[in-house]
Structure formats: C-alpha cells, structure tokens
Amino acid sequence: MDFKRKDILGLQDLSAEEIELILDTAEPMKEILGRELKKVPTLRGHSVVTLFYEPSTRTRTSFELAAKYLGADTASIAVATSSVQKGESLRDTAKTIEMMGIDVIIIRHAAAGVPHLLSRYVKARVINAGDGAHEHPTQALLDMFTIREKKGRLSGLKVAILGDIAHSRVARSNIWGLTKMGAEVRVVGPPTLMPPDIQKMGAKVFYRWEDGLKEVDVINVLRIQLERQQKGLFPSIREYTRLYGLDEEKLRCAKPDVLVLHPGPVNRGIEISPEVQDGPHAVINEQVKNGVAVRMALLYLLMGRGEEDVLTA
Amino acid sequence: MCLLLKGGLVVDPDRNSIKKADVLLEEGRIAAIQPGLKVPDAKTIPVEGCYICPGFIDMHCHLREPGEEMKETIHTGTMAAARGGFTAVVAMGNTKPPADSRAVIEFVKRQAEAAPVPVYPVGCVTKERKGLELAEIGDLVDAGIVALSDDGNPVMNSEVLRRVMEYSSMFGLLVISHCEDTNLSAGGVMHEGYISTLLGLRGIPRAAEEIHVARDIILAEMTGARLHIAHVSSAGSVRLIREAKQRGVRVTAEVTPHHLCLTDEAVMTFDTNTKVNPPLRTPEDVDALCAGLLDGTIDVIATDHAPHTLEEKDVEYNYAPFGISGLETAVPLMWDRLVAKGILTPVQLAQKMAGNPAKILGLPERAVKVGTVADLTVIDPQLKQPVRVESFASRGKNSPFNGWELLGWPVLTIVAGKVVMLEGKLTDSERS
C-alpha cells in the first residue's frame, strides 16, 4: 500500500494497514542498525530538525540518529520554556525554522495539540514526538514493534498498561495502536490516575493489579512522575510502589512468558523493581534499539520512497 | 425628528402576541403603533417581515476598559453591541484596575457617554477582586452600579460571600455569581469527560460549577439576597436552580449562546477560540440548558462577551486565555438555533434578551408600546449570511462561529429613538 500522509500527529487517525506498513518497514531498518557501516543515502539532501520544548535525551537522540543513518542533515533546537515565557510565539518559531529549508519538524511539547497547530502553520512535515498527555505515536509504534518481534503477532494478545494513565501520552497512543491491531488493552492504576471514560477508547479499566495483570501477555510499565504525589493523587511513593510497582510477585500473576516494557527513563525501584527491570522478561533495552528502527521507517515512508530503495542500498 | 418603521411584526411579550403594525418614534419615545400609519414628514425605514422587539440588553459582557484596551474599549465594545442588536450592555468589573472603587465606575460611565449604546457598570464584590474584603459597596451604589460581581473569579471564601450578600441586601442590590470551585478547576482548560481524556487536556468537572451554585443558593436563602447565577453550563446546575426556584429562593440565572450551540467536541480541533470558562460541555448539558430556558429556570440569554487579541489566542491551547467574543453573534445564533428551529418563540427570545434582564437589573421596563423609551431591536428572520469575524466592530475576533451560515440577523438597532445600526452598519454619527 501507499503511505500518503504529510504528518504523523498521532495513532488515533492511523489505520491498521498503515501501522502494519510502518512496522514491516522497521524490520529492514533494524537490520541496517546491525551493520558495521550504518549509513544509507536514502534521505541525502533532506533536512530534519528536532524542536523540543521539553527536556528529552532518548527520544531526541533516537530521532536524530534515525535521520542521520538515512543520510539526512539534522539540527536540534531545545527550547527550555514555553513560547509564552520565552516571548516568541510558536507560529513565529515555526516559520523561522521553515525558512531555513527544513523538510521535517519533529516536535515535543508539554501542551497537547501543539503538533497539530504546527502542522497548520508550516508546509514542512511534522512528526509528533510527544504532546502533553495527548499522544506519543513513535513510542507506541516502537512498543508494538517490540511486542510483535517477540510474540510474532499483536492480534489476540492481552496487554496491560500499568501506572499513571491519566497523564500518559504513551498510554493513549498505545491504546489506539494496539486496539486497532486487534490486541486486548487493559489499563491498570489507581482511580486518581485514571482519566474519565477511558473505556470508551477501547481499554478495560482495572484498579487492582491482581485483576488487571492476570494472564496478560505484555505489561507496559509507565513512569510515575514523582510530583503527582504532592498534588494529592496518591498518598506516598511507598504506597504507590507497594500497590502498583511491578515486582516479581505481581509478575507471577501474568502469563509465564510475559514481556515487560517501559518507555524510560525508569525510576528504579519505584514503578518497577530492579529484579524485574534487569530480569529475563524485560525488553526495555531492546525497545531503545527498536525506537531508532521505527523512526527510520517513519522518516523513510514520509520522505524517502520513490527515490532510492533503502533495502538494496 | 420622527422615525417610522414600516411593515414590521411587533413583538409584545406582555400579551404574548405578535402583530403586524407600523411603529412611529417621536422624541425618543414610541408615539404610535398601528397598521397603515402615514406620517408625511417622518423618515421611513421599511422593515417588511422583520420582528420589532423591545431593545435587547446584554447583561454580561467584558469591555476591558480601563486597562486592556488592546482587547476592547468601551467604544469598540458598544459598537459591537449595536451591530449585534443590543441596545444596552452590562459591563463586568474585571478591568485593570478593577471596578472596586467609585473612581473606576465614574471613569467607565464617562467613557460611555459617547457610546452608541448605554453601559451599565457592575461593581466588584471585594477589594481588588481578591475575594477577601468587601469593596466599598455603598460608594459603588452611589456611583451608579447595577449589580455586584467579581466575575471572572468566584468568591471562594463562603464567609466573605455571606457578608457580601447580607450587606448588599440593604441596597436591594443584585449579586451575580461566577460559580467555580477553583480547587476543582485548577489547571483545567476544557470540560472533563471523554473528549478531555482523548485529547490529554486537563478537564474542569461539572462539580466545580455545581458546588458553587449549590453553595450560593444556600447563602442567598440564608441572607435573603438577590442572587443571579452567571453563565450556567451544566445539567446539574440547571437542576439545582430549578429546585431553588420551586422553594422560592430569590435566584435567577443566565446562559450563553455558546453553551447552547457548542459541545466539548468542538475542542478536538485544538482551536483556542473554543476555550472558554465555564467550558463547553456535552450534548446532555446542552439539552438540559435548553429545557431550563424553556421552563423558566434560566431567565436570561447573555453573551459573556470576552474579547481577546489574536496574538493571545494564537498559541498552544493550554496557554490561551478563556473567552469568546460574543456580542455580534448572539442574536443570529439564537435565532438560527432556537427560534428558526421552533424551540423558542420570538416572544420568548425577547423575554430572555430584553424583558427579563431589565427586570432582574431593575432597569426601566422593556416593551414595544406607546409611551415607552424607543429602545428597539429589529430582526430580519429571512436574512441568511455567514459570520465573518473580520467584519466585527469588536476588537476581539475570537469566535468559534466564524464561517457559520446563520439565519435571522439584527438589521436595525434603535437606542432612545436614534438609529445606531442599520443593516449591519453603524450609523455615521457614531463613527469616530
């Protein structure tokens, strides 16, 4: 099939076929990553900029390396604060970047909807690298790629997303993507970290791990933002860890061959115990590698096709 | 000079009737109402097929002056009112400085002297709108306020509000409440529900409004004060007000056109013009608001006109200010969505936008009858045209209705016998 999108703003509006194509395309990309000489010329002459309004190391580096391995030129702009505080509007920043001849803008922002706003301002392609608690499509794609690689399929799997669902863009993109691919998605966390009506997105809601993690094939553990405790959303880190931290006892509730994912960075010993994080079920490091492959696939599908075949390069 | 409105349909809320008649205006008052009037020296305006309503009053708008003239001035705001078919506006006091002193009220009144439509100022409930100490209410009354409100903010401290209600009752003054528990709404930018979950935007639950509606009704009942609930947005608030009215509590309420015409689904575009406080809610809430309007629970349709500059609104959804520029779309929205669809009669619309606001505020009676002041709003029910924000007289172009094709527009606004708007254009004498 053809991939005819200008932007990747979220998984809500991608079809199952499009997701499948992205995941299929990521496989040969991963093969390139394993080569001694990783550079292919597919995107030579194209330019990619990462525009990050939130601190990030892994996602930004992952996108930059993905672009570089495909031969594109990259630049990165880290904006510490919001446009309001900085004094330059998003529109003006966007226009300035576009005038420098950028083909793709990869944006991360603390406010939901910013990539959508940006895509209306510029002709360049826009990839959402995380907008507020809205979507983080490339994270969900790399999660799905990792699951599919290990389990051989997505359809029919039981996937639990554990933790702070309310504030998580990773959870939302995973729910859209996984349900489209035929998986059963469960969200597990305390009611104070569960957004209203989330079941309408197609996920089953569980408050107790004993129910939510039962017989699942995959557990995706979310990072807990420690400042949520100060806002009164749970009593203490200690109690959160006791009730929702993934340890070996809770893991036994799942299927014996359960996969454990985490989008990183990990609060070691809080949302996941060191034994589980470093244990045989965890694929957290593999996710990082797959992230580069999936992002290469996206850049290739958006920009590179029809010029030179990456698979024979 | 005399003015003759020829061929219109006279809306008479008192008799709940509409009759075809010509209306003669003389020296600022209605001189005659009857079919086939012939007055040779009168200037004639043909209004064939148009409804001649008592002059509409917007009892809730923000004119921003003093202090935020880039958003709106009393001059541009009242021009917008005239274009929107309003013959008077009630200006909220969340200006900079706030209207908590005689000086500010007098300034507003002076600025309004040259305005095309009269401005009735609202005084602040508390000093600097901080919700802590009573403003000098007696002084504000002498300066000419028509009501009290810290609108934009609630009075969070129930003890302070109790004393405000007690104190204002000696002046028979109306207290207008902006109902919002700011602990529950903190950080929220839209209605809390499925759409906020989907978009990952922080929600404002209905409870934030309803808790204050309930509290303010209880305090009004305790103190005997006259309470008016501003911009009701939720089904639960309608229920609470209905129940209070049945018990005889002196409470009235208003709803905005945007809460009647839009739901939280409009936010899915991330268009910051849909960001408004209280937030756009669900279809069930819209149904309850309509039902409340019909059964008399909600007395008034008011705009909550909240103009902002383009730069302020052209930002990330989270950072945009709340508010919709509403003066120039209220009448066509209500006609198109309620009257043309048969939900509200023209007589009922005139009650909600003219008769009831006048009664609640204690202003002179609004009626199209011989001897009353000639404040008139004339609506052409056949006129269909799109909303075009670039043609707004208001400085606030922040409307989520831009481009909406609406049926039924105000075509003539008359204030004290003087034409201030004709066919969408402000009359020359009012331009500056």
A93 is a catalytic site residue: no
pLDDT confidence band for A230 (50 / 70 / 90): confident
The answer to whether residue A237 neighbours chain B at the CB level (below 8 Å) is no
Q: Given this model, what pLDDT does residue B429 score? A: 52
The answer to whether residue A131 neighbours chain B at the CB level (below 8 Å) is yes
The answer to whether residue B197 neighbours chain A at the CB level (below 8 Å) is yes
A86 is a catalytic site residue: yes
Per-window interface: A 176-205 vs B, CB < 8 A: 195-198, 200-201
Q: How many CA atoms lie within 13 A of A142 on its CB side?
A: 31
Cis bond leading into A235, ω under 30°? no
Contact B25, B414 (CB under 8 A): yes
Nearest chain A residue (CA) to B192: A196
CB contact under 8 A, B318 and A132: yes
The answer to whether residue B314 neighbours chain A at the CB level (below 8 Å) is yes
Distance from CA of B200 to the nearest CA of A (A): 4
Q: How far apart are CA B152 and CA B380, in angstroms?
A: 34
CB contact under 8 A, B203 and A132: no
Q: Residue with structure tokens 């992205």? A: A22
In chain A, which residues have their Cβ closer than 8 Å to the Cβ of B275?
Answer: none
In chain B, which residues have their Cβ closer than 8 Å to the Cβ of A84?
Answer: 315-316, 319
| Ramachandran angles phi, psi of A46, nearest 5° | -95, 155
The answer to whether residue B204 neighbours chain A at the CB level (below 8 Å) is no
The answer to whether residue A72 neighbours chain B at the CB level (below 8 Å) is no
Contact B414, B87 (CB under 8 A): yes
pLDDT per residue rounded down to tens, chain B (432 residues) = 799 999 999 998 878 889 999 999 999 999 999 999 999 999 999 999 999 999 999 999 999 999 999 999 999 999 999 999 999 999 999 999 999 999 999 999 999 999 999 999 999 999 999 999 999 999 999 999 999 999 999 999 999 999 999 999 999 999 999 999 999 999 999 999 999 999 999 999 999 999 999 999 999 999 999 999 999 999 999 999 999 999 999 999 999 999 999 999 999 999 999 999 999 999 999 999 999 999 999 999 999 999 999 999 999 999 999 999 999 999 999 999 999 999 999 999 999 999 999 999 999 999 999 999 999 999 999 999 999 999 999 999 999 999 999 999 999 999 999 999 999 999 865 444
Order of strands across the sheet that contains A184-188: A204-206, A184-188, A158-162, A218-221, A259-261
The answer to whether residue B312 neighbours chain A at the CB level (below 8 Å) is no
**Which helix (H) or strand (E) covers residue A190, if one does?**
none
Of A82, A83, A196, the CB nearest to B197: A196
Q: How far apart are CA B256 and CA B303, in angstroms?
A: 5
CB contact under 8 A, B198 and A12: yes
pLDDT confidence band for A85 (50 / 70 / 90): low
Contact A31, A104 (CB under 8 A): no
Model's pTM, two decimal places? 0.94
Lowest mean pLDDT among A203-207, A308-312, B275-279, B423-427: A308-312
A108 is a catalytic site residue: yes
CB contact under 8 A, B200 and A83: no
Of A110, A117, A196, the CB nearest to B270: A117
Distance from CA of A65 to the nearest CA of B (A): 28
Q: Given this model, what pLDDT does residue B78 score? A: 98
- Output the six-digit token pair for B55: 């002059």
The answer to whether residue B203 neighbours chain A at the CB level (below 8 Å) is yes
What is the per-residue pLDDT across A22-63, written as a single tens digit (0 to 9) for each? 999 999 999 999 999 988 999 999 999 999 998 888 999 999
CB contact under 8 A, A117 and B316: yes
CB contact under 8 A, A200 and B193: no
B295 is a catalytic site residue: no
Q: Given this model, what pLDDT does residue A229 score? A: 75
Residue A95 scores a pLDDT above 80:
yes
Distance from CA of A110 to the nearest CA of B (A): 9
CB contact under 8 A, A91 and B314: yes
Q: Given this model, what pLDDT does residue A192 score? A: 96
- Supply the DSSP symbol for A258: -
What is the per-residue pLDDT across A237-265, written as a single tens digit (0 to 9) for each? 999 999 999 999 999 999 999 999 999 99
Looking at chain A, the whole-number percentage of residues with pLDDT higher than 70 is 94
User: Checking phi first, is residue A274 left (phi over 0); if not, alpha (psi -120 to 50) or beta?
Assistant: alpha
What is the per-residue pLDDT across A153-178, written as a single tens digit (0 to 9) for each? 999 999 999 999 999 999 999 999 99
The answer to whether residue B310 neighbours chain A at the CB level (below 8 Å) is no
Q: Given this model, what pLDDT does residue A81 score? A: 55
CB contact under 8 A, A113 and B199: yes
Between chain A and chain B, the number of residue pairs with CB atoms below 8 A apart is: 67
CB contact under 8 A, A90 and B315: yes
Of A89, A134, A200, the CB nearest to B199: A134
Q: Given this model, what pLDDT does residue B103 score? A: 97
Q: Given this model, what pLDDT does residue A1 score? A: 64
The answer to whether residue A109 neighbours chain B at the CB level (below 8 Å) is yes
Which of A6, A35, A86, A95 does the annotation list as catalytic? A86
In chain A, which residues have their Cβ closer than 8 Å to the Cβ of B279?
Answer: none
Residue A199 scores a pLDDT above 80:
yes
Cis bond leading into A265, ω under 30°? yes
In chain A, which residues have their Cβ closer than 8 Å to the Cβ of B198?
Answer: 12, 172, 201
